[in-house]
Structure 1
């Protein structure tokens, strides 16, 4: 687990097929203000191995065990996509002082097509990555290739470096839980009353979970949450605009600091 900085504890949870490495652009911006932990989920490259049939509760159990190992009772939790869902489920268990959920997964109606459209896009990314991984060391030097490769997840994929793109490709291909998670029929249960302050920060140009589709469901599931749209970013906003995402997190943590809660 990545760990850096001092101050209020903030734990970062990544999305499906990613790893703690996806937070690399953000950590140097957060660490002067708080103690940052970045967890790699069960069944993902660099995380604990997972058996077949893995579900959301298994990921949450693994994340909670990591909090226990670090002796973090109720840190601030930040999660993107699947990581946002994990953070919210940990909050349901009473393990969060606050949650900043960046376009969280699980906010869908399984009877409708929104979830399938999102997972079909991600499965397409898996197929493309598997077919083209051999060419990435050379091809990824071109900004237009990086932009194309990241088109589902970032507005400006060219901002991602060649090495970052290769690392993300290897994370994706090395994620043994990807098909179990992409084929899930689970959805987030209502979280009301909210067990802690929750910020739903949605990417304006999210192509995986469009704010106009999944946002209303999220707000219905967590009616007490604060809603905010992050402008000009895609599904992985920390890659498009790490400064914006860092400021969003720092402001949220400062507004709901453990010191303030103790004083209250």
Structure 2
């Protein structure tokens, strides 16, 4: 294991628990910090709304400073990928592996109109079904249905894990800050560090045909790959594939001249 830090950033409405299946493998190679971001269950509280990308990135910078880390490798999923790319823009990243990152849409809403209604529906259904979830999630069919928007193999995820995902979503304090889609990722060219855009093949929220296309236009020098058979949160479907994508990215960065 190297002493190089690796920071993991989850998606909107989730928490550091999203990385549970990949942390053990990654910890054999890096000092891993799975952060729960500002405004999410278990993370720092929001004092002012809307809490935009600047606020989330600044909070991660503060926690890096507390650990004495000037730079770190980053891996982020969805919103976490967006924050990771912002930290690269600020010069705090040695590398970024962005897994289906959010923020790649247009000012007119193209690329965001798919995700927002799905997330709103997820939040409503989660709130309505939470009282009976401990019983219903004993069924593999129900587990697959519960995670259908973010995973292709939801039946493989245990009931306790899905309950934690449920509670993370219900406790998210900044959900409404991001659903309007008023912010977006600006072009990042040239790259400040090695960047991988690893897109889930079966992402229903941020489809490859729309959002990945915009991403490749705005970050043209990034290494691009498809995570076959995976949904929006690929750590749930293909943890080994996610580990490989992250470690391939950090290895490229360690070999690159600075």
- 1:241 corresponds to: 238
- CA distance in 2 between partners of 1:233 and 1:12 (Å): 19
Q: Which stretches of structure 1, 4 residues or more, deviate above 3 A after TM superposition?
A: none
What's the CA shift for 1:250? 1.4
Which runs of structure 2 are paired with 1:1-264 in the superposition (5 Å)?
Answer: 7-51=3-47, 52-257=49-254, 260-261=255-256
Alpha-carbon distance, 1:256 to partner:
1.6
RMSD of aligned alpha carbons:
1.3
Question: SS of 2:113's equivalent?
Answer: helix
Query: Partners in 1 of 2:50 and 2:97 — Cα distance?
Result: 28
1:160 CA drift (Å): 1.1
- Give distance in 1, aligned partners of 2:65 and 2:217: 31
- Cα distance in 2, alignment partners of residues 255 and 58 from structure 1: 29
TM-score normalized by structure 1? 0.94
Q: What secondary structure is seen at the aligned counterpart in 2 of 1:99?
A: strand
Deviations 1:27-51 (A, max 9, x none): 1121112211111111000011003
CA offset digits 1:79-127 (Å, max 9, x no partner): 0000000000000000001100000000011304420221110111000
1:6 offset after TM fit, Å? 5.4
Gaps of 5+ in 2: none
Give the paired residue count.
Answer: 257
Provide, for residues 136-188 of structure 1, a one-character-per-residue CA deviation record: whole Å limited to 9, x for no partner: 11111111111001001001011111001000110000111111122231111
Counterpart-to-counterpart distance in 1, 2:42 and 2:2: 24
Asked if 2 retains the 8 angstrom alpha-carbon contact of 1:55 and 1:184, the reply is: no
C-alpha offsets along residues 204-248 of structure 1, whole Å, 9 cap, x if unaligned?
A: 001010011111100111111011001110000000011111111
Q: Distance in 2 between matches of 1:184 and 1:117?
A: 11
- Which secondary structure state, in structure 2, belongs to the residue aligned with residue 129 of structure 1? helix
Report Cα offsets for 1:30-82 as digits up to 9, x if no partner. 11122111111110000110033221111111111111111111111100000
